Amino acid sequence: MKRTFAAIAVAAAALTAAGAQAQNYPTRAITMIVPFAAGGPTDVIARIVGENMSKTLGQQIIIENVAGAGGTTGITRGAQAQADGYTIMMGHMGTHAAAPALYPKLRYDPAKDFSPIGMAAGTAILIAARKDYPAKDLKEFIARLKTEQDKANEAHAGVGSVSFTTCTMFNVMIGIKPTRVPYTGTGPVVNDMIGGKVDYVCDQIVNLVTQIQGGNIRAYAIATPERSSALPDVPTTKEAGLPDYQVSAWNAVFAPKSTPPAIVAKLNDALVKALDDPATKKRLLDLGAVLPQGNERTSAWLGDYVVQEVARWTPILKAGGVVAPE
């Protein structure tokens, strides 16, 4: 009896302590793990959003870049961190949707090991080819790829990268098996694309936009519901005749699982405020980012979305003939 009481007392004390902690949160700087190298699209979005979230929370959000293994190294570390709200992370389409299919030894479950905070921003995916590719629109492009099959050279930025996964989906969808040329990163891909050494690529708009504006690379379609203001001449996949190709490289904030709901709410509130801030919003839109609207901004929506995305990507990546690392 005594022991039960003591246990209840301890539990109660712990609860009130936790409650007080959540109420005062945050009392010190918050670390946001970005699972990619500094300077990449996810890093840029994290820094822009993080800067504004710091203002709302009254504490600095420090970006810690922990790159490696397609982003799974950083997310593994984040998943194992204390669930006190002081370590959060910028998850990504790769780490929270594609990773289970690509890394059988993955040490976290995207759907179960996190407390979702909210969607931050996605970047639109473009289908683009070298500027002298003999096809005037997406329909001709697809028709030509179908006749060429493995004669066509698709470039991607490495197994597990956004350009790899999104182009796997494109290839599976139109039913071709091109020759896939692996690079390490987007820079060399763009270089060889301008030099005419490879035929096509699927990648985030921010990596290609200036080359397309400059006429060095030709874009056939953008995989968003609406056209991008940065590239108003590029049709959406819906307009160009491949309506099912809807994909974005999304970035969302997660905390380790069992983070107190009050802290999750505070972080979600700061995130939503950042997305509504005119200056922050403009910076994100200038990058070609797609921002979540209404219901898409809640924590619950993100939780459901991760489950859907894992279910959507796993069969595609398996069909794409990825040799999974054992």
Among 194, 262, 272, 291, which residue sits at the site for other proteins (rule: CB under 8 A)? 194
Question: With helix as H, strand as E and coil as C, how does 184-199 read?
Answer: CCHHHHHHHHHCCCCC
182 binds other proteins (CB under 8 A): yes
Which range of residues in 112-120, 186-194, 241-249, 299-307 is near other proteins by CB under 8 A?
Answer: 186-194
56 binds other proteins (CB under 8 A): no
**Cβ-based nearer residue to other proteins, 50 or 260:** 50
Among 15, 23, 68, 143, which residue sits at the site for other proteins (rule: CB under 8 A)? 68
187 binds other proteins (CB under 8 A): yes
Rounded to a whole number of angstroms, the minimum distance from the CB of residue 231 to other proteins is: 12
- Measured CA to CA, the distance from residue 269 to residue 92 in angstroms comes to 20
- Measured CA to CA, the distance from residue 26 to residue 137 in angstroms comes to 52
Which range of residues in 58-66, 243-251, 255-263, 297-305 is near other proteins by CB under 8 A?
Answer: 58-66
**Cβ-based nearer residue to other proteins, 52 or 237:** 52
197 binds other proteins (CB under 8 A): yes
Which range of residues in 78-86, 175-183, 262-270, 307-315 is near other proteins by CB under 8 A?
Answer: 175-183
Place of tokens 């820079």: 187
Rounded to a whole number of angstroms, the minimum distance from the CB of residue 75 to other proteins is: 12
Task: Give, in order, the Cα–Cα distances in Å from 49 to each of 54, 60, 91, 121, 161.
Answer: 9, 12, 13, 9, 22
Rounded to a whole number of angstroms, the minimum distance from the CB of residue 34 to other proteins is: 10
DSSP state letter for 235: P
Among 55, 59, 63, 257, which residue sits at the site for other proteins (rule: CB under 8 A)? 63
Which range of residues in 7-15, 140-148, 204-212, 296-304 is near other proteins by CB under 8 A?
Answer: 204-212
Q: Token pair for residue 132?
A: 């002298």
Place of tokens 């060429």: 148
Rounded to a whole number of angstroms, the minimum distance from the CB of residue 281 to other proteins is: 13
What are the beta bridge partners of residue 173?
none
Q: List alpha helices for 93-236, DSSP H.
A: 93, 99-102, 138-148, 162-174, 186-194, 205-213
Task: Give, in order, the Cα–Cα distances in Å from 310 to each of 28, 61, 77, 146, 241.
Answer: 34, 29, 20, 28, 26
Among 170, 183, 245, 250, which residue sits at the site for other proteins (rule: CB under 8 A)? 183
C-alpha angle 252-76-53 in degrees, rounded to nearest 5? 35
16 binds other proteins (CB under 8 A): no
DSSP state letter for 94: I
Q: Which residues contact 311 (CB under 8 A, 6 or more apart)?
A: none
- Measured CA to CA, the distance from residue 245 to residue 223 in angstroms comes to 6
Binding site for other proteins (CB under 8 A): 37-41, 43-44, 47-48, 51, 63-69, 73, 76, 102, 105, 107, 153, 158-160, 179-185, 187-188, 190-192, 194-195, 197-198, 206, 209-211, 213-214, 216, 283, 286-287, 322-326
